[in-house]
Amino acid sequence: MASYRITDGDIKIASENWQQWKSVFEYEGPAANNPLLADSSTFGAFLNEYSVRRTIRGGTSDKLRITLGNPAFELQALLNDTSGKLLDARETALRAQFGTHSGKRGLRSAMSKIASFLAPHAFVAWDKYARKGLNMASERSRSYAFGNYSEYIGDMNRVLSGHIGECVRSACADSYPTQYASKRDRFHRRVLDVFLMRLGGRTF
């Protein structure tokens, strides 16, 4: 197994990100009332900072926000399904209405990033650099293509429960941005995500 190291820089980037979005990450009310979805300006800032707006059909991003918060969408059920299978199913269903290129392009990146903000203990973003890093950490070709999000999050969970996960937890000791972040692998997933993106070639 290759030897990888979680750096102080990984912790710093994840910590600054947590502090910036603390009101979203640590919101404990109904998911549909989370500031990310309840406040259009917060959602807009999120879309811009995380390059999500370009993955949603032009002029429909606020309608997507409202759709996700609608009780009929059953957002909490999606977040409770930590296998990612329901996220895959809902993402497919939303493509026709919100996907770019007349619904031919999916919303996997957008939906995964939204889920990772609403439920940081369970989800991580679908990111091209993180996918490459995850492949390297799993000792396979960097270009291996994941078939869906549930396969991706399953591999993330395996890495987090293994040696690299132990390294993440050790590196995070006494370095959590808040007490809330230290529970249920919330911050560990943020650090793992930063580490894998760096491993996959992203520069910060």
pLDDT band at 172 (very low <50, low <70, confident <90, very high): very high
Tens-digit pLDDT profile for residues 98-135: 999 989 899 999 999 999 999 999 999 999 999 999 99
pTM: 0.96
Comparing CA positions, the residue from 121, 119, 145 lying closest to residue 134 is 145
Residue 26: the pLDDT is 98
Instruction: State yes or no: pLDDT of 1 exceeds 70.
Output: no
58 neighbors 30 (Cβ within 8 angstroms): no
pLDDT band at 182 (very low <50, low <70, confident <90, very high): very high
Instruction: State yes or no: pLDDT of 3 exceeds 80.
Output: no
Instruction: State yes or no: pLDDT of 77 exceeds 60.
Output: yes
Tens-digit pLDDT profile for residues 131-151: 999 999 999 999 999 999 999
Q: Which residues pair with 99 in a beta bridge?
A: 56
Burial annotation 181-195 (CB, 10 A radius, 16+ → b, else e): bbeebbbbbbbbbbb
In angstroms, the CA 87 to CA 85 distance is: 5
Q: Which residues pair with 56 in a beta bridge?
A: 99
Residue 116: the pLDDT is 98
Residue 4: the pLDDT is 85
Q: What's the chain's average pLDDT?
A: 96
113 neighbors 54 (Cβ within 8 angstroms): no
Torsion of CA 139, 184, 27, 97, to 10 degrees: 40
Residue with structure tokens 């009310």? 29
Tens-digit pLDDT profile for residues 11-26: 999 999 999 999 999 9
Tens-digit pLDDT profile for residues 79-94: 999 999 999 999 999 9
